[in-house]
Chain A
Amino acid sequence: MAAGARRPSADHADLASERSRLWRLLLWPPFVIALALLVLPQAVFVWMSFHKSLGMGLVSDFLTIENYRRVLTDPFYLHAMWMTFYLSLGATLINLALALPTAYYLARLRSRWVSYFVVLLLVSLFVTVVIKVLALYLVLGKEGMINHTLRALYLISEPVQMLNSQLGVLIGLVQYTLPLLVMLMIGVFQTIPSSLEDAAEVHGATWFSSLSRVVLPLAWPGVIAGSLIVFNMNMGAFTSAVLLGGGRVLTFPVLIHRKVILDVDYAMGATLSTVLLVFVLLVNLASVLLLRERRGSGSQRAATVHVS
C-alpha cells in the first residue's frame, strides 16, 4: 500500500488511541493527590523512624536503627503486636463463620428482599464507628443488656467483664467488619452459578459434598481476599480498640496514638507504624503466595471479590 494512503481501520485505531491517551491524562490528578497525601507523609514518617527522638516531636540528625531494635526486642511491644494479631485474626475468623452462611443464603435467595438486605448492610457500614461502639457500651456494660439477661436467667452471679478487656475489643472488631465481610462474600457466592450446585446434586453429591467439592473451592480465592481486607481493617482499628479496651488493651494502633499524641514521640510512633505496616504487608503477601500454591497451574476460574 502506498505511503500516506488512508485506511479507515487505521484512522479508527488512531482515534481510539487518541481517546485513550486523553483518558490516561485524567489519571494524573488522582495520582498526584495520592502522592501528596499518602506517600509523602508516609515517607517522612518512615524517615523519622530511623532517627532518635529528641522529644517535643523533634528528631536528631543521625540515622539509627535503635528504635526498631527496641520495638523488636522489648517484650512489651512484641506482646502488643501478638495481641493485635490474634484479636484481628480472631475477629476475622469469627466474622467468616458468621458471614459465610449468611452471604451464601442471601446470594442464593431468589427474592426481591435481598437487595433491601444488602442496602441495610450498606447503611450499617455508613454509621460511624463511634456511634456503633457507644451502642455496644450500653449492651456490654456491667449493667448492660447481656449481663442483665444472664443474671436474670441465673447463669451468672457476678457480671461478666466485657468492657475494658480484650473480649470487648474482640466484640468491637467483629461488629466493625462483619457487615463489610457479608457484602464481600455475597459478591463471591453470586459469581458461582447455582447450576453448578444443581449439577453436583443431580450427579450424586450430598449437600455437604456439593459445598466442599464445588462451592467452597470456587469461593476460596474470594474468601481469602475478603478475609484479608477485613483482617487489615482489624489490624488498623483504632476507635473500637481504644473505646472498648478502655486503655487496658494496648493494641498497636492504640500504642501509636499514645506515642504520637500523648508522648509526642514521633520517632517511636513512626517506628511502630512502620512495623505494623510491614507486618500487615507480610501477612498479606504470605496469604497470596499460599493461595497461589494451592491453585496450582492457575488455570482455574474462580470467584473474585468485587470491591466497589
Chain B
Amino acid sequence: MAGVVFEGVSKLFGDIAVVRDLNLEVRESEFLVLLGPSGCGKTTTLRMVAGFIVPSAGTIRIGGEDVTRLPPRARNIGMVFQDYALFPNMTVAENIGFGLRERKVEKSALDRRVAELLELIRLPHLAGRFPSELSGGQQQRVALARALAYSPRVLLMDEPLGALDLKLREAMQIELHRMQRELRITTIFVTHDQEEAMGLSDRIVVMADGQVQQVGSPEDLYTRPANPFVANFIGKINFLSGEVAAVEGGRCTVRLADQATVSGIAQDRCQAGQRAQIAIRPEALRLIEPGSAEFANRLPGRVKRRRFFGNIVHYSVATASGQELLVESTTGAGTVALEQTVWIGWQPELTLIYPGAATAHAAQAASPSPAGSLA
C-alpha cells in the first residue's frame, strides 16, 4: 500500500491546459474520489497516475517513488476501466490471472490467488466462462478482481459503475466499499456522479476546468462548500445575489434587489458595497407563519410548484424579486396550496455568503434558475 502525491502536475493538450498545477496528496489506504463535470480533467489526472499520459509539468509519486515517467507496467497499480476492458479471448480465471502471469508467478501460486479472488468477488462458479457470457455487474467484479490480483500499490477506477443500471450500481457501491475497507488499498475513483462520490469516499476532490475546487470529506463539501461551484455541484442548493450591506466578524448582511436583507456566514473576506452570492440548502428553508420571529432571515413568496417524494415534499417558491427558491420540507409539516402567499425563514448559521461577482461557474450553475439543481 502506498499514498499518491501530485506536485505541481499540469497537462496541456496543444494550448489547452486540461489539468492545471495540481497539488494533492492521496493518503495511504484512503478511498479518494475525483469528482467533476465532464472535461474537468479528472480522467486525465487518473490516466497520469496510470502512466498512459505523461504530465507536461510536475511530479507524481507513488509511495514516495517518483513514477512520473515510468511506463504503466512498472508502476504496480491496478485499474478498472469504464468499459471493463476484459480480454474477450480469455476466461474469467485467465483474465484475473493476467497480471500474475505477466509477473511470472508460478502456476500453483497463481491458481491459488485466482481462486482466492473468485471467492472475494463471489463468482467462483464462473471461472471458466468468457466475459461475453457474463452480465454487466459480473464483468465489473471480474475487472476488479483482475486489478487486485497482484496486490497493487494503488487501485484506479475510471467511472466503473457508469454502465450499470441504478439498482445494480447501488449494490456494487456497497460491494466496492466493503472490499476497499477489507483490503485497505489506496483507491482513486473517478466519477461525475456526486451521490456515488458521497457514498463511497473518505475524501472527495471536486475539480472543474482542470483545477481543484475543494478537497474534503463528503460532510465538509456539503456543509462548507468552498465556492458557489462546489455548493452547486454537491447536492441541491439555492442561490440569491445582492450587495453586502454590513459586516461584523465572520457574519455579513446582504441586501437583495428588492431591499430585503439576508445575513449569513461569510465564506471569504467581505466588504460593504461588494456584490455577493448567497447559498442556502433547500432543507434549511422553512415555510413559516407571517409574523413568526423564529428565524432571522425571512422572505415572502408565492408557492409555484409542489412535488411529492414520499418522505419529503419540494416547494418552488417565487420571491418578490422573481427568483425561485426550492424548499424541502418533511411530509408531516402540513400542506400548502399552490399560489398561496407564504413566508420562508431560515437560520443565518445555515446561510453561506460568497463575496465577489459571480464566477463563471457559479453564473453558469445558477443562471437558468436560482435553485440551480432543482431538476
A binds B: yes
> Which residues of A lie under 8 Å from residue B133 when comparing CB positions?
299
Contacts of A199 in B (CB 8 A): 79, 81, 85-87, 146
Cβ of B77 to closest chain A Cβ, rounded Å:
7
List of A residues within 8 angstroms of B146 by Cβ: 199, 203
Inter-chain CA distance A299–B147, complex, in Å, is: 24
Could you tell me if A202 and B83 are in contact, using CB atoms closer than 8 angstroms?
no
By beta carbon, the residue of chain B nearest A220 is B89
- CA of A44 to CA of B4 in the docked complex: distance in angstroms? 76
Q: Chain B residues near A213: list those with CB within 8 A.
A: 87, 98
Does B102 contact A209, Cβ atoms closer than 8 Å? Answer: yes
Is B210 at the interface (CB under 8 A from chain A)? Answer: no
Q: Mark A188-222, 1 if CB is under 8 A from B, else 0.
A: 00000101101111111110010001100110000
With A196-B85, A302-B89 already in contact, the answer to whether A202 and B130 are too (CB < 8 A) is no
Q: Which residue of A lies closest to B100 (CB)?
A: A204
Q: Decide if A204 touches B52 in the complex (CB within 8 Å).
A: no
Cα–Cα distance between A201 and B132 once the two chains are bound (Å): 21
Instruction: Name B150's closest neighbour in chain A (CB-CB).
Output: A204
The CA of A214 and the CA of B77, in the complex, are separated in Å by 19
Candidates A201, A203, A297, A300; contact of B71 at CB < 8 Å: A201
Q: Which of A195, A202, A217 contacts B72 (CB 8 A)?
A: A202
Nearest-CB residue, chain A, relative to B146: A203
Complex interface residues of chain B between 124 and 157 (CB less than 8 A to chain A): 130-133, 146-147, 150, 156
Report the count of interface residues on B (CB-CB < 8 A): 31
Q: Are B50 and A196 in contact (CB under 8 A)?
A: no
In the complex, whether A7 has a CB less than 8 A from a CB of chain B is no
With beta carbons under 8 angstroms apart, the residue of B79, B82, B87, B88 that contacts A202 is B79
Find out whether the CB atom of A201 lies under 8 angstroms from the CB atom of B81.
Answer: no
Residue B112 lies at the interface, judged by CB distance under 8 Å to chain A:
no
Contacts of B131 in A (CB 8 A): 301
- Chain B residues with CB under 8 Å of A195's CB are 81-83, 85
A203-B146, A302-B89 given; A198·B102 CB < 8 A: no
Indicate whether B73 reaches chain A with its CB closer than 8 angstroms.
Answer: yes
| B51 contacts A202, C-beta separation under 8 Å | yes
Closest beta carbon of chain A to B31's beta carbon, Å = 19
Q: Do A203 and B89 have beta carbons less than 8 Å apart?
A: no
A interface SS class = helix
B87 touching A299, Cβ below 8 Å: no
| CB-based closest 7 A-B pairs | A204-B102, A199-B85, A203-B99, A301-B88, A195-B85, A202-B72, A217-B89
Asked if A201 and B72 make an inter-chain contact with CB atoms under 8 angstroms apart, the answer reads: yes
Chain B residue with minimal CB distance to A203? Answer: B99
* Interfacial chain A residues near B130, Cβ < 8 Å: 297, 299-301
Known: A202-B51, A204-B76. 13 other contacts (CB 8 A): A193-B83, A193-B85, A195-B83, A198-B81, A199-B79, A199-B81, A199-B85, A199-B87, A203-B79, A203-B146, A203-B147, A205-B73, A300-B88
Cross-chain contact A206 with B79 (CB below 8 angstroms) = no
Give which listed residue, A203, A299, A301, contacts B102 with CB less than 8 A. A203
Q: B89: which A residues are within 8 A, CB to CB?
A: 214, 217-218, 300-302
Contact with B along A163-193 (1 / 0, CB 8 A): 0000000000000000000000000000001
B87 touches A214 (CB 8 A): yes
- A-side interface residues, number (CB < 8 Å): 22
Taken together as a complex, chains A and B put the C-alpha atoms of A204 and B103 apart, in Å, by: 7
> Is B370 an interface residue when CB atoms closer than 8 A count as contact?
no
Contacts A195-B83, A299-B130 hold; do A201 and B73 have CB atoms under 8 A apart? Answer: yes
CB pair B85–A204 under 8 Å, yes or no, is no
Which chain B residues lie closer than 8 Å to A209 at the CB level?
102
- Specify the chain A residue showing the minimal Cβ separation from B94: A213
The answer, yes or no, to whether B282 is at the interface (CB within 8 Å) is no
B76 partner residues in chain A, CB cutoff 8 A: 204
Q: Is B225 interfacial (CB-CB < 8 Å)?
A: no
B-side contacts of A214, CB under 8 Å: 87, 89
**Are A204 and B99 CB-contacts (below 8 A) given A198-B81, A198-B85, A199-B87?**
yes
Taken together as a complex, chains A and B put the C-alpha atoms of A141 and B71 apart, in Å, by: 49
B-facing mask of A272-308, CB < 8 A → 1, else 0?
Answer: 0000000000000000000000000101111000000
Cα A301 to Cα B85 with chains together (Å): 13
**Residue ID in chain B nearest A209 by CB atoms:** B102
Once the chains bind, are A299 and B73 in contact (CB under 8 Å)?
Answer: no
For B98, the chain A residues whose CB sits under 8 A away are 200, 203-205, 213
Which of A200, A202, A213, A217 neighbours the largest number of chain B CB atoms within 10 Å of its CB? Answer: A202
Question: In the assembled complex, how far is the CB of residue A176 from the closest CB belonging to chain B, in whole angstroms?
Answer: 32
Contacts of A299 in B (CB 8 A): 130, 132-133
**How near does chain A come to B169, taking the closest CB pair, in angstroms?**
20
Nearest A residue to B130 via CB reads A299
B301 within 8 A of A: no
Q: Is the pair B77, A202 in contact by a Cβ cutoff of 8 Å?
A: yes
- Over the window 65-83 of chain B, the binary record of Cβ atoms lying under 8 Å from chain A Cβ atoms (1 yes, 0 no) is 0000001110111110111
Chain B's closest residue to A198 (CB) is B52
Q: Write the B318-335 contact mask toward A (1 if CB under 8 angstroms, else 0).
A: 000000000000000000
Knowing A193-B83, A195-B83, A299-B130, the reply to whether A206 touches B73 (Cβ < 8 A) is yes
Looking at A193, A200, A206, the one whose CB has the most chain B CB atoms below 10 A away is A200
CB closest residue in chain A, given B81: A195
> Cβ of A218 and Cβ of B72 under 8 Å apart?
no
Would you give the 0/1 interface string for B101-129, flagging 1 where the beta carbon is closer than 8 Å to chain A? 01100000000000000000000000000
A218 and B81 within 8 A (CB): no
14 interchain pairs, CB-CB under 8 A:
A195-B81, A195-B82, A198-B81, A198-B85, A199-B86, A199-B87, A200-B87, A201-B73, A202-B75, A202-B156, A203-B147, A300-B88, A300-B130, A301-B131
